[in-house]
A and B are shown apart, each in its own frame.
Chain A
Amino acid sequence: MVQFIDVFKAYENGTKALKGISFEIADGEFAFLVGPSGSGKTTIIKLLTGEIAPTDGKVIVNDYDLGSLKFSKMPYMRRTIGVVFQDFRLIENKTVYENVAFAMRVTGASNKEIRRRVPYVLELVGLDNRTRRKPQELSGGEQQRVAIARALVNNPRLIIADEPTGNLDPARSLEIMLLLQKINELGNTVLVVTHEKELVNSFSKRVIAIDAGRIISDGMDGYYNYER
């Protein structure tokens, strides 16, 4: 579960990125977070992943209150979330299998667990026949699938996808969105951050729209039509 309770965030240079944002995403929910550039989307992601702390208000992710969470406990919070980025962020010199296994290894998983779980998630994302390839040998859509597999492999409660289709063509974008929907159906909470209006509108999901650090709409009608 994600809870933002009256969250303010001001950076050291004086920029007020968030101005009293409150929302809640329940376990198992699928939501889009949309808004134009500079609206505060990236700040929300950084708050969710613990990269920055709120100036005021509360951010609660999977029962961890990030405002008061000790630095040493942050890794354990991060193991409850999986993050997918627009630029994939794969390790170039590792194979597909190693990229995914790596995420399990850092949590202290045994080799036996890794050998059991990694093939399962690679099959789930449709990459079971690409395990020995290096990222540069894959298409953009396939690289994003590896990133999704890596985000999934530790069985996190929440998947955060930050512009996951930003580097993909429309057909591959749809495939990735369908994959995220499938993951949601398996029980994971999914939050997709995007500014692709058509893609959002083709799914009938909750849409939280923000602009200039404030929530301007939060509806279940799955429609995003805000124009700045």
Chain B
Amino acid sequence: MRGNRFGYYIREGIGSIFTHGFMSFASVCIIVACLLIMGSFTLLALNVDSVIDTMESQNAILAFVNEDFSEEQARAIQPALEALDNVETVYFVNKDTAWDSYVDTYENPSFFEGLDSSFIRHRFVIYIKDIALMAETRDAVCNVAGIADVNAQLEISRGFVTLRNIVTFVSLIIVAILFAISLFIMSNTVKLTTYERKDEIAIMKMVGATSAFIRWPFVVQGLILGLMGSLTSYLLEWGIYQVVTTKVVSSSGLNFLTTIPFSVVAIPILVAFLVVGLGVGIVGSLVAIKNYLKV
């Protein structure tokens, strides 16, 4: 691309933004609104996912060892459990520790006077990688020699999986719908500016302009509007997220929730906003100009 031609595209693209100031402003506002909603849902989904991850990590399988196994025999089972698919970590809990923990859950230990740990079993606490595979993992644990019984909270795990799937699905649908809406509005905005310039485009065709030459200033226009929309919405999203997460953390009813710090997602969110904003701007412009280039 020759330098003076590149300069022409930039000048024309920027000039068109100011010539059609109101429409440009409207385009940026639409991109900002859509990106804010998309970003908010994405951040919500990420936080729900994070909360579920935390809950998942606390949801373990309890595997009880045969009654007649000594502690030494029971400990010998651990490598077989660790070797199973989907097993993250395995902790051995002997009878005494299990008994003490059990007693500690009651406010008045005197209830248990005269009793000891002899009637309970050694056990393993097994944390798994994927909660969706809990049933399969439970069955595999059951089949390990020396394991007498397994206690797995399948209902809770299914609940987590369902909740995660719903949040992910809803977020994806909303993001897809908003992307389509942004594209449509951006395309129509550029269509309006191209309609206003249809005579100019016809003159350009008449004097021998190539389609690319006509298209580039509109692409530059869409690119700049998309960039402005992306950066504005990113900064707004950042501010809103900080305010909301601060409120959540300081709220007495919700302080059990942990939120993802914005710094952790700052780069991916910025990249996503830029990709969507620039994509909407450029694709919207290309769609809008297409019909005028057919002659």
Contacts and interface: CB of A to CB of B under 8 A. Distances in A.
B199 A75 contact: no
Contact of B8 (A93, A105, A150): A105
Interface stretch (B109-117, B166-174, B207-215): B207-215
A79 interface: yes
A118 to B, nearest CB: 13
Contact of B205 (A76, A78, A93, A150): A78
Interface in B183-230: 199-200, 202-211, 213
Given A89-B203, A91-B200, A93-B19, A111 B4 contact: yes
Contacts of B295: 51
9 contacts: A75-B205, A89-B202, A89-B203, A91-B199, A102-B204, A105-B5, A106-B208, A106-B210, A106-B213
A150 B207 contact: yes
Contacts of B211: 72, 75
A147 to B, nearest CB: 10
Interface string A100-124: 0011011110110000000000000
A165 interface: no
Q: Which 10 A-B pairs have the closest CB atoms?
A: A79-B208, A106-B209, A78-B208, A103-B207, A75-B208, A75-B210, A91-B200, A111-B4, A89-B203, A83-B206
Given A83-B206, A106-B207, 14 more contacts: A49-B206, A75-B211, A77-B208, A82-B207, A89-B203, A89-B206, A93-B19, A102-B203, A106-B204, A106-B208, A106-B213, A108-B2, A110-B4, A154-B208
Given A51-B295, A89-B199, A106-B213, A154 B5 contact: no
A82 B2 CA distance: 24
Given A51-B295, A106-B213, A108-B5, A78 B207 contact: yes
Interface of A: 49, 51, 72, 75-79, 82-83, 89, 91, 93, 102-103, 105-108, 110-111, 150, 154
B280 to A, nearest CB: 27
Contacts of B208: 75-79, 106-107, 154
A154 B19 contact: no
Contacts of B206: 49, 78, 83, 89
Contacts of A75: 205, 208-211
A49 B79 CA distance: 83
Chain B interface helix/strand/loop/mixed = helix
A154 B208 CA distance: 10
Interface residues of B, number: 19
Contacts of B204: 102, 106
Nearest to A80: B208
Nearest to B202: A89
Contacts of A110: 2, 4
Interface string B1-34: 0101100100000000001000000000000000
A178 to B, nearest CB: 24
Contacts of A154: 207-208
A102 B204 CA distance: 8
A105 B206 CA distance: 13
Max chain A CB contacts within 10 Å: which of B4, B207, B295? B207
A127 B208 CA distance: 24
Contacts of A78: 205-208
Contacts of A150: 207
A73 to B, nearest CB: 10
Contacts of B213: 106, 108
A49 B204 CA distance: 13
Contacts of B8: 105
Nearest to B1: A108
Contacts of B5: 105, 108
Nearest to B199: A89
Contacts of A111: 4
Contacts of B19: 93
B175 to A, nearest CB: 37
A91 B209 CA distance: 15
B261 to A, nearest CB: 50
A61 to B, nearest CB: 13
A16 to B, nearest CB: 22
Max chain A CB contacts within 10 Å: which of B2, B211, B295? B295
A30 B48 CA distance: 79
